Structure 1
């Protein structure tokens, strides 16, 4: 065990800055609680952020390598200032710089051919990103046309279900269709989720290859047009997604969001159906029977189809349109540039969201994650103050942050094992004649 590791594992309990404790409270939602001060952030960096795991996650080894030392980091400060092209020589250098500069958050960038801090001494053409985790970003504001419970920056457990289903669809595609293994999902701290893929194959993708990946995943690229115009029969990924989304659509969209309770919104949805007699009959029925829910109106489509004795071809067109409506409402809505651009930076796991004070914790896409119960900085400070157990226990283990750090640690351990095995295989291959 290194001296720094020993220090992290046995750190003495510390005093929480008094400036924040009077405002601290157990969070019940993901909206702002109390303002996060500079002293709050300093406390968090000194005592709670798991620097070693973040370092190993980005370094892919316990000892410093170019995967870390040639990587760009960016700082955002409470003043609004933004400083790019920071780089670090070691775990100790990394932690010392974060604590000293005390940013409101820090972001992770690509590994460069030239050390980022030396960029001014070389031509711009030399500053080429060589590797970077494959990343995805989902933001609930992109669902404002279908979520009725919240809008803009506000979220609740109802609309978080859009994120839940999105992570399931993407996780399956990344593992089964692309063969990636080292995938972690991270709460953005307010209204979204970030996905990081750390497989070596993923990190080595160039921008053209990343564009191909995001085009494969971005089924809604034609969203906003009258029809999605997806090729039939569906690609296996799209069909698998449809099969998963159909049941979720009834719960997430029709029951909880009820977006077509408003007749005008329902009339707009009808424009996507290609049969004028069906559209006319449904519109008349809804005008004559006001107050029908979205679930009722969805069932009305089948009822009116039966009443009209539609031909098989017309029924097929109706069902295809319904499938497209399901995709439009519930399929993952992705920020394409976050995935495509290698020089795009993304907030690190375990950062504090400056607007809410929430910790950007990792979560398992296979299990239910409740963003309203994610650890909050002021909550963590109160947990440390109220600790009644063994004084030898370090600060992380005194708080609700502990299971998230442990989960991330297991993920990092598996990643490092894979990297070590891959390196051994490459060395063995180089010895073959």
Structure 2
């Protein structure tokens, strides 16, 4: 069975994949066709929120079939409903995609993650999915009541990928069958999107879709800073980081108080984490108040070692004339900037580490220089070159769709695997397996380990007290295993906390927002 993956990466935008338009505003009773929707008006006046006011199981996993039980032929089910086309073509053949969904995709634990429990609830029943079909069409407003229906429908449609939206006040599939119904978003994970292309002006090793270990360090820095802020400043615990499959990462914050945030609070939180602003390379992009906010002071301690290694050594960012002028424009003292320019002009190949040290060395020779202003400028430079660069629009609106974990990136064939944010230094994006590699690993394992009869507890040859071996699941035969195991543990912890919280409040599962006063009260 062929499992080839095309090397053609035809991404339609600078990000990891084409972005669907968001759902229409809740106030508008718009009956939108699949694959089409009106953009929300982001220019409307929103409530101003001051930043200083921000702080007032089941282990039987039969969803992964063993190799002997898999039929990799296309399902003979009715063709999917046609939808408005968008450019979402995958270079991976349909047979390979179907084999991946049948043998490797963790449907049950994906369901439990989004459902926040094992028993079906409105958190999943009223959740929107956007499914990207093989014919380049997209089905909007899909929903799945159970894990089994979720699995069956994805196998039937065999999409190139799917994206996850909010939980609505009613089942999104009912928007046409029940005219006049008001469908509004009531819950959604707080999400963040980090894309390497936003660092193209500060990396010299790669550009656009390309990445390497040197520039991936920018994503590592971003995850460290954002994860730390979400935990320390906002008290969130259930933060799932996911590799985008090519050159970025997404964060899904699953705590109840995060899921229930309104759009104005999401916007304020995104603004709290937005430090590098604007795209004008000739102007200063970091302007922060003094004394530094505790979040920024803490971030500087995390970022300075990365600045020294990544920016100065690995990227050698200040070696060129244009980048040298860029850093000179950020020096507040004109006499110092002129002295540095003369020195660097006489030594055009001077390394970035030496140029960075020159700032302090020459500053000592200039009388009347404001030492505090220079120190602040150096901190601002570190922030500008290393602080996370977020696509803030992704975080601001509950109705925004984001690519699901564990789907296949259509350009690279790599799996969008979860990342342990607290062990981000150990993650290697270039080692993430492709769908073709995983399917080949199953075949290789089965060839080396032909299955024999499953031992019975009554077998006299069996040891006393032994339990019959269970059949090994296909994902366990591949490099996907540690990622699935991490995800399963993450979901189990989330569900345990959800149960504990509901017992303490004496309430049943609900998707309705509640008015409470807690650490997230704005």
TM exceeding 0.5: yes
Aligned partner (choices 285, 288, 295) of residue 237 of structure 1: 295
Matched, 1:7 2:62: yes
Structure 1 residue 252, shift from structure 2 partner: 0.9
In 2, Cα distance between the equivalents of 1:124 and 1:283?
A: 68
Aligned to 1:214: 270
In 2, Cα distance between the equivalents of 1:376 and 1:247?
A: 32
Matches of residues 396-407 of structure 1 in structure 2 within 5 Å?
Answer: 396-407=475-486
Matches of residues 142-161 of structure 1 in structure 2 within 5 Å?
Answer: 142-161=198-217
Structure 1 residue 122, shift from structure 2 partner: 5.0
Structure 1 residue 272, shift from structure 2 partner: 1.6
Change (3 A) 1:131 1:42: same
The aligned length equals 411
Structure 1 residue 12, shift from structure 2 partner: 4.0
Matched, 1:70 2:149: no
Aligned to 2:243: 187
Structure 1 residue 78, shift from structure 2 partner: 3.5
Aligned to 1:374: 432
Structure 1 residue 189, shift from structure 2 partner: 0.2
Matched, 1:389 2:460: no
Structure 1 residue 344, shift from structure 2 partner: 0.5
Matched, 1:417 2:472: no
In 2, Cα distance between the equivalents of 1:401 and 1:130?
A: 33
Aligned partner (choices 301, 306, 318) of residue 248 of structure 1: 306
After superposition, the CA RMSD in angstroms is 2.1
Question: Do the aligned residues in 2 keep the contact of 1:134 with 1:202 (CA within 8 Å)?
Answer: yes
What is the CA deviation profile of residues 106-132 of structure 1, one whole-angstrom value per residue up to 9, with x for unaligned ones? 111100002111112456881210000
Aligned to 2:323: 265
In 1, Cα distance between the equivalents of 2:107 and 2:169?
A: 24
In 1, Cα distance between the equivalents of 2:444 and 2:507?
A: 54
Question: Do the aligned residues in 2 keep the contact of 1:227 with 1:272 (CA within 8 Å)?
Answer: no
What is the CA deviation profile of residues 342-378 of structure 1, one whole-angstrom value per residue up to 9, with x for unaligned ones? 1111111100001000000001122220000012111
Structure 1 residue 268, shift from structure 2 partner: 2.1
Aligned partner (choices 343, 350, 356) of residue 298 of structure 1: 356
Structure 1 residue 80, shift from structure 2 partner: 2.4
What is the CA deviation profile of residues 304-328 of structure 1, one whole-angstrom value per residue up to 9, with x for unaligned ones? 11122444xx121111111111101
Change (3 A) 1:166 1:8: same
Q: Relative contact order (alpha carbons < 8 A, sep ≥ 6): 1 or 2 greater?
A: 1
Question: Do the aligned residues in 2 keep the contact of 1:223 with 1:328 (CA within 8 Å)?
Answer: no
In 2, Cα distance between the equivalents of 1:363 and 1:256?
A: 24
Specify which structure has the higher proportion of helix: 1
TM-score by length of 2: 0.75
Matched, 1:44 2:110: no
Aligned partner (choices 79, 85, 90) of residue 146 of structure 2: 90
Change (3 A) 1:16 1:193: farther
Matched, 1:130 2:182: no
In 2, Cα distance between the equivalents of 1:91 and 1:143?
A: 39
